[in-house]
Amino acid sequence: MTAELHDVEAIHIGRYDLEAERYVLGAILATSGRALFEIGQLAPADFFRPEHEQLFALMHGMHGRGDVVEVQAVAQRLVGSPIRGIGLPQLVDMFSSCVTAANASYYAQTVRQLGRLRRLQAASMRIAQMTGSCDISAVDEVVEQARAEIDSAGDNSSTGEISSLGELLSTAMQRWQSPETGILPTGLLDFDDMLAGGLRPGHLLIVGARPAVGKSVVASVIAHAVARRGVGTLFCSLEMSRDEVTDRVAADIASVDVGRLTRRELRPEDWERLKTAQASASGWPLKVVDRADQTVSGVRARARDVSRRKGGLGLVVVDYLQLMKPSDSKAPRQEQVASISRGLKLLAKEMQVPVVALAQVNRGPMNRTDKRPAMSDLRESGSIEADADEIVLLHRDDKESPGEIEFIVEKNRHGRTGTVALAWAPHFSRVASMARGF
């Protein structure tokens, strides 16, 4: 440790360090804001003293707008501001206390970690209050709330902070120069083209259809196509058992008739294909949960568990939305479904992964000449339309177009709307681009 470094451990007072906070602020002033590039994800909330928190936010905003972050310029901004106890003398003192800005990252790390400890302490107190008054019927909900409290306390990133347009454009200029990342191809080439590449982190994709049209097949195809790429995938099935999910995935990847699988009538060549498929798929990070009473909180809890495992979490699939258990069983059904829909969208944003949720379509298409479903046919709640980033409706007419299934893209925030025809092979539980042979 250099002579300029103070022994910050010796002056910790109840899990904060005012000298380290002053040093960081002084380093920003001494470098005209350039030290902000060196201190990583330090956020205003990491500072213990409110005046320090407000001053850091002020200087961070000035730097993002391209303003000069120097003592006189900041002092002028402070005139008439709500930041009390900080003026030109205090700024000069902070400037002088910074012996060398080279140590700014060290002190910023101290401020950041102490901020995290304070948040963890506050979270532990809230958890103690929740568990002390928790009804035993709500234990699962409280466990998930406790996990959320800990995760929130441990996350010291500045995500969600107020940003100026100048800051956003500056960040965007770098983003636009790089290839888009995080997009997950579904493996259905024509469909991916409609989605401008595939599934996007933070998006909720609704796949709607009447019963027996092919929702679950589409869900299993997307799930194993993403897992095949080494991306952690959580498949929450409220309708099928894990054995049924396994049969569908195995039939597709091994090109074995699903009927022979379920009837236990496998041929020697089927066994060979299944053994090959097992060898290649055994390492895919695809996790299956088949509880019929899953809630949004339960899915979130399992998603967090998967995200902490090797491979992390890249996709959540829910089959299907209207079967999920509502948090309030006494609320009107439309409100229940609306709450589930909103919860899945918040899950996608919180975990920054795409969520694919299947949804039932009402009998409206059956009463029309054109049997194709429309977005208004989504069952029980119009809020699904509002929460979803993409809505895809499935349609099959085995008399007119055998071996085909239509993907009707009704809503798409980042691409085109329209209809894509894909190949449909129910004996393999498979949906594929037309170019793929069966």
200-252 pLDDT tens trace: 999 999 999 888 888 999 999 999 999 999 999 999 999 888 888 899 999 99
CATH of the domain at 8: 1.10.860.10
Is 105 or 314 the better-scoring residue by pLDDT?
Answer: 314
Residue 163, pLDDT score: 62
- In which band, very low, low, confident or very high, does the pLDDT at 295 lie, cut at 50, 70 and 90? confident
Furthest C-alpha separation in the chain: 86
Q: Percent of the chain having pLDDT more than 70?
A: 90
- Are both 141 and 235 inside the same structural domain? no
Q: What is the mean pLDDT of residues 304-317?
A: 87
- In which band, very low, low, confident or very high, does the pLDDT at 390 lie, cut at 50, 70 and 90? very high
Instruction: For CA atoms 42, 44, 47, 52, give the dihedral sign.
Output: positive
Is 230 or 143 the better-scoring residue by pLDDT?
Answer: 230
Residue 324, pLDDT score: 87
In a domain, 73, yes or no: yes
Residue 155, pLDDT score: 58
Asked whether the predicted pLDDT for residue 83 surpasses 90, the reply is no
Asked whether the predicted pLDDT for residue 166 surpasses 80, the reply is no
- Are both 171 and 274 inside the same structural domain? no
- Are both 201 and 228 inside the same structural domain? yes
- Are both 258 and 393 inside the same structural domain? yes
Cα 265–Cα 266–Cα 269 angle in degrees, nearest 5: 155
What's the structural domain count of the chain? 2
Torsion of Cα atoms, 242 then 243 then 246 then 247, to 10°: -150
Asked which of 130, 150, 178 is the last residue of a domain, the reply is: 178
Residue 380, pLDDT score: 66
Asked which of 178, 210, 243 is the last residue of a domain, the reply is: 178
Residue 40, pLDDT score: 66
Q: Which amino acid is at 267?
A: R
Residue 419 structure tokens: 């209809």
In a domain, 231, yes or no: yes
Asked whether the predicted pLDDT for residue 88 surpasses 60, the reply is yes
Asked whether the predicted pLDDT for residue 13 surpasses 50, the reply is no
What does residue 200 show for φ and ψ, rounded to 5 degrees?
Answer: -110, 140
Residue 171 structure tokens: 């960040």
- In which band, very low, low, confident or very high, does the pLDDT at 293 lie, cut at 50, 70 and 90? confident
Which of 79-93, 179-193, 259-273, 293-307 has the highest average model confidence (pLDDT)? 259-273
208-218 pLDDT tens trace: 988 888 899 99
Residue 29, pLDDT score: 86
CATH of the domain at 219: 3.40.50.300
Residue 211, pLDDT score: 87
Report which DSSP code applies to 378.
B
In a domain, 437, yes or no: no
Is 191 or 38 the better-scoring residue by pLDDT?
Answer: 191
- Tell me which residue range forms the domain holding 126: 1-178
Is 116 or 381 the better-scoring residue by pLDDT?
Answer: 116
Q: How far apart are CA 429 and CA 252, in angstroms?
A: 6
User: Does the pTM exceed 0.75?
Assistant: no
In a domain, 183, yes or no: no
60-73 pLDDT tens trace: 888 777 777 888 88
| φ/ψ bin of 66: left (φ > 0), alpha (ψ from -120 to 50), beta (otherwise) | left
HSE-CB of 51 using CA atoms within 13 angstroms: 11
Alpha-carbon distance values, 109 to 21, 39, 254 (Å): 10, 8, 51
- Are both 211 and 324 inside the same structural domain? yes
Q: Which of 7-16, 109-118, 151-160 has the lowest mean pLDDT?
A: 7-16
Q: How far apart are CA 153 and CA 169, in angstroms?
A: 29
Q: How far apart are CA 119 and CA 125, in angstroms?
A: 10
- Are both 7 and 149 inside the same structural domain? yes
Asked whether the predicted pLDDT for residue 161 surpasses 70, the reply is no
Mean pLDDT score of the chain: 83
316-372 pLDDT tens trace: 999 888 888 887 777 788 888 888 888 899 889 888 999 999 998 887 777 777 778
Asked which of 135, 159, 178 is the last residue of a domain, the reply is: 178
Q: Which of helix, strand or coil describes residue 421?
A: strand
Residue 92, pLDDT score: 82
Question: Among the residues of 180-241, which ranges form H helices?
Answer: 189-194, 215-227
Asked whether the predicted pLDDT for residue 253 surpasses 70, the reply is yes
